[in-house]
Amino acid sequence: PFEALSVETLPKRLGENEALGERIGKDASRWKVREVGDGNLNLVFIVEGDHSAAVVKQALPYVRLVGDSWPLPLKRSFFEYHALTRQEARAPGSVPAIYHFDQAQALIVMEYLSPHVILRRALIDGRELPNIARDIGLFMARTLFRGSDLSMVTKERKADLALFADNVELCDITENLVFSDPYFEAEMNRHTSPQLDGLVAELRADRNLKVEAQRLKHLFAANAETLLHGDLHSGSIMVTDTETRMIDPEFAFYGPVAFDVGMLLANFWMAFFSQRGHEDKGSRDSMRAYLLRVTAETWSVFRAEFSDLWRTERTGMLYQKSLFEDQGDRLGAEQALDHMLAGIWTDLLGFAGIEVHRRILGLAHNADFETIADADLRASCEAKALKFGRHIAVNRRQIHSIDEVNTLAALIEQE
Ligand code: SR1
Ligand code: MG
């Protein structure tokens, strides 16, 4: 039966696994174990032995953030494992290596990434990382293209879709926490700045915004386009100055391409709006400019790589080459690509706006804002982010370039 690990029980339980012993160190009694999980859902341990170190991630039968009053199935670990293996195949080197998976114990033993830190932490600290836009843009384009009917054998994609369709409880979290709860007085909501009460009431009375959020929820739930990471925010990415790895795809399921891209860009924009709150040790002008460059570069890398894959790897049943290039109609294939990218762009703005809102109004907040000690300053950063989120979600069909969005972000930030 399932048993949650502890610092004390882990060496005994995993030390019996020969392959792990070989890798970490044969004498498990010498393993040093720390529990480091600070996420919303799981236990995470770092295990250091005589040979090397590893990370052990174990799902709990409930939501760690809330407690056992909110049960959550252990099978999320199964989906995380299968998402990691697909991401590694589609974007090699972008996720941690897996050493061991135990479905019954809902645990994954994986590569210990060191000296990596969580990207969100690095951005709060004002670190300008040179490679994140390229690395994340490539990761998204490769996993999202290669997990879709543009690339996969459709029989395999449909079987995979059925497999991940069972990740229903984690989809349910997103469907409620991201798309609905922020827009009414849901029980689990908590905005921590009472200074925002007026604006929050305005947003909850904003018919256009609520209709848009529901249209996006519909898209999220009904458009099973590709295998998503499902929770691609800056807390799901680990970095050094030169390396970037995506972690934690337990929310993986088949959904719209634009969801991952929108959630990710939203987290860069939130980092941007929170910088004013982290200026106690010096100006963040350069960091703000950097973050806007990162959003533009990420989108541009994504577009370029997605387009390249479209031209070179379109082996699936969608927009078959036999309809276009094979008949000498390269322009037709380009036209279809433009349409798809235009759709992704419009939808990602919606998902981004909604993601910004839920991180301020809903249950699961962001350290970017939460670590701002001065309550008025925090509320002012959050208010600007909320206005920005509303604007891009509601006006997404009228916004045509990332430069436009970034100009708007800079204008709101300076208000
Ligand atoms: C109850 S889970 C809250 C949030 O944490 C995860 O990281 C997801 O973002 C989820 O929405
Ligand atoms: Mg997570």
Measured in Å, residue 207 CA sits from the centre of ligand 2 at: 31
Structure tokens at 392: 């891009």
pLDDT the model gives residue 283: 98
**Residue 370's CB: how many other CB atoms inside 10 A?**
15
First to last CA, the chain: 57
- Phi/psi class of residue 349: alpha, beta or left (left: φ > 0; alpha: ψ in -120 to 50)? alpha
Closest Cα to atom 3, ligand 1: which residue? 364
pLDDT the model gives residue 192: 85
**C-alpha to C-alpha distance for 413 and 385, rounded to whole angstroms:** 8
Nearest to 297 by CA among 142, 130, 121, 94: 130
Give me the residue label for tokens 């293209």: 145
Closest Cα to atom 6, ligand 1: which residue? 40
pLDDT block averages, 10 residues each, the chain of length 415: 96 96 97 93 97 97 93 98 98 98 98 98 98 99 98 98 98 98 96 94 98 98 98 98 97 98 99 98 97 99 98 98 97 98 99 98 97 97 98 98 98 97
Does residue 238 sit in helix, strand or coil? Answer: strand
Closest ligand to residue 59's CA:
2
Ligand 1: does its nearest atom lie under 6 Å from the Cβ of 40? yes
Helix (H) or strand (E) holding 376: helix 375-394
Q: Are 252 and 228 in contact (CB under 8 A)?
A: yes
Ligand 1: does its nearest atom lie under 6 Å from the Cβ of 177? yes
Measured in Å, residue 291 CA sits from the centre of ligand 1 at: 23
Measured in Å, residue 40 CA sits from the centre of ligand 2 at: 7
Task: Return the DSSP state at 110.
Answer: E
| Start-end of CATH 3.30.200.20 domains in the chain | 10-111
Ligand 1: does its nearest atom lie under 6 Å from the Cβ of 261? no
pLDDT the model gives residue 212: 98
Ligand 1: does its nearest atom lie under 6 Å from the Cβ of 122? no
Measured in Å, residue 213 CA sits from the centre of ligand 1 at: 18
Closest ligand to residue 72's CA:
1
Burial of 322 (C-beta count, 10 Å sphere; 0-12/13-18/19+): exposed
Phi and psi at residue 205, in whole multiples of 5°? -100, 5
pLDDT the model gives residue 406: 99
The complex's ipTM?
0.98
Domain 10-111 has CATH 2.60.40.420: no
**Residue 93's CB: how many other CB atoms inside 10 A?**
11
pLDDT the model gives residue 38: 85
Amino acid at 141: A
Residue 178 CA: nearest ligand 1 atom is: 11
Measured in Å, residue 18 CA sits from the centre of ligand 1 at: 34
Closest Cα to atom 4, ligand 1: which residue? 364
User: CA–CA distance from 265 to each of 193, 285, 310 (Å)?
Assistant: 24, 19, 22
pLDDT the model gives residue 400: 96
**C-alpha to C-alpha distance for 113 and 222, rounded to whole angstroms:** 35
Structure tokens at 279: 């200026």
- Number of C-alpha atoms within 13 angstroms, CB side, residue 88? 13
Ligand 1: does its nearest atom lie under 6 Å from the Cβ of 135? no
Structure tokens at 125: 């600290």
Residue 173 CA: nearest ligand 1 atom is: 11
Measured in Å, residue 174 CA sits from the centre of ligand 1 at: 7
Q: Are 83 and 249 in contact (CB under 8 A)?
A: yes
Ligand 1: does its nearest atom lie under 6 Å from the Cβ of 354? no
Residue 248 CA: nearest ligand 1 atom is: 7
Residue 233 CA: nearest ligand 1 atom is: 9
Q: Which residues pair with 226 in a beta bridge?
A: 255
Residues having C-beta closer than 5 Å to ion ligand 2: 39, 248
Measured in Å, residue 169 CA sits from the centre of ligand 2 at: 14
pLDDT the model gives residue 230: 98
Angle, helices 76-90/132-146, rounded to nearest 10 degrees: 100
Amino acid at 226: T
Give me the residue label for tokens 């300008």: 128
Ligand 1: does its nearest atom lie under 6 Å from the Cβ of 231? yes
Domain 117-413 has CATH 3.90.1200.10: yes
Q: Are 371 and 276 in contact (CB under 8 A)?
A: no
Among the residues of 52-196, which ranges form H helices?
76-90, 119-124, 132-146, 154-164, 168-177
**C-alpha to C-alpha distance for 251 and 168, rounded to whole angstroms:** 9
Q: Which residues pair with 71 in a beta bridge?
A: 62
| Start-end of CATH 3.90.1200.10 domains in the chain | 117-413
Q: Which residues pair with 227 in a beta bridge?
A: 254
**C-alpha to C-alpha distance for 270 and 251, rounded to whole angstroms:** 21
